[in-house]
Amino acid sequence: LASLILLGGSLGDRFGRRRVMIVSDTGRALIFGALVVSGDLPIPVYYVAAFVAGCLDSPFESSRSAAIVDSVPDEDYPDALAISAGLDQIGLLAGYALGGTLVGLIGARGALGVNAASFVLSALLLSRMTPDRPSGRRDIIRVREAFDVIRSDRVISRSLGGFCLAA
Q: What percent of the chain has pLDDT over 90?
A: 38
Neighbours of 49 (CB within 10 A): 18
Q: Is 114 exposed, middle or buried (0-12, 13-18, 19+ CB in 10 A)?
A: middle
- What integer is the mean pLDDT of 106-114? 94
Give the residue from 71, 64, 72, 58 showing the smallest Cα distance to 122. Answer: 64
pLDDT digits (tens, 9 = 90+) for 58-94: 888 888 888 888 788 888 888 888 898 888 899 889 9
pLDDT of residue 137: 47
pLDDT digits (tens, 9 = 90+) for 119-150: 999 999 999 887 655 554 455 556 677 677 77
Question: When comparing pLDDT for 70 and 99, which is higher?
Answer: 99
Question: When comparing pLDDT for 159 and 92, which is higher?
Answer: 92
pLDDT digits (tens, 9 = 90+) for 24-57: 999 999 999 999 999 889 999 999 999 999 888 8
What global pTM score does this model have? 0.72
Cα(7)–Cα(122) distance, rounded to whole angstroms? 23
pLDDT of residue 115: 94
Contact 20, 11 (CB under 8 A): yes
Query: Of 4-8, 38-42, 149-153, which gets the smallest average pLDDT?
Result: 4-8
